[in-house]
Amino acid sequence: MKRTIKYKIPEEFDGKKVIAYLKGEAKISARLLRSLKRIEKGITLNGEHIRTVDILHTGDELKIEIPCPDGEIEPMNIPIDVIYEDDDLIAVNKSPFLACHPTHNHQGDTLANALAYHLKNEGKQSVFRAVGRLDKGTSGIVICALNKHSAAKIPKTAEKEYLAVVSGKTEKIGTIDKPIYRPDPMKTLRAVGEQGDRAVTHWETIATDGEKSLVKVWLETGRTHQIRVHFASIGMPLVGDGMYGTDEMKLGHQLLHCAKVSFVHPVTGERMTLEAPMPEDMRKIVETLNT
């Protein structure tokens, strides 16, 4: 299987080299270009194989064929909530009880296995290229690129908005600017500390009952467990987070949800915004808070 993308050469690229268009206008990465040059008919002009140094003319049809290698992840029939899909990407509203990718604890019951099954049924083949993974226990939008080009471009323009229910009453707005590090390289646990990497989290309070608060969260940086670690560091761990706080309500997962993702489509150039509803248990708790 492969993904074919066609480009009509505009007047401003008349007389310029193929590589100038692919790297400049089409924003093809250097790594993908190297891969395309090794493939027979990876890059063609008006149906003929060409070199990247060849010259373009107005109205030419430039075509690239991106290979989609067979994935090594076993397809598993696990229900998933697909909120958007095309030839270049697929977006899913992930359940908080589903891990993103196989680990020693989760070999076949992951989003990667579910997507492998879904794509196989549609006659598509793809390796698992999640554009920003979510922890098991965190719900919301996960975008998976279906080819190398999408995998290279989407992360550069993606902006995420999270919803979290934290312990305590938060200020109306706030910022947490504390470095995060990994105390034990054998464990996933993170902590704040000056020896860590810069991490900045912004929030806005949406609702509170004095004991719990619903906050909208934006990240300047993308450290592992950043939202969970940061709110725990100010004495307001996420409700349900047994790793950085307690799970007194026996939810089995932290109340953290990736609610909105905005990005530029890797082929059309269109700015897209996807939204996903909270899981049922989180929604019910949020409804008890005062707005």
Residues assigned a catalytic role: 135
Ranges of beta strands (E only) in 183-280 are 191-192, 200-208, 212-219, 256-264, 271-275
Give the residues across from 200 on adjacent strands. 177
Q: Contact, 29 vs 149, CB < 8 A? A: yes
- Write down the H helix ranges in 2-127: 18-20, 30-37, 111-121
Query: Can you tell me whether residue 191 is helix, strand or coil?
Result: strand
Give the C-alpha separation, 237 to 231, whole Å. 5
Give the C-alpha separation, 218 to 19, whole Å. 37
Tokens of 205: 């309070």
Interacting residues of 184 by C-beta distance below 8 A, sequence separation 6+: none
Q: Give which of 58, 61, 62 is closest to 22, Cα–Cα.
A: 62
Give the residues across from 272 on adjacent strands. 263
Query: Can you tell me whether residue 189 is helix, strand or coil?
Result: coil
| Strand pairing report for 139-145 and 256-264 | parallel
How does DSSP classify residue 11?
G
Give the C-alpha separation, 137 to 248, whole Å. 15
Give the residues across from 17 on adjacent strands. 55
Q: Give which of 87, 91, 80, 86 is closest to 258, Cα–Cα.
A: 91
Tokens of 279: 């899981």
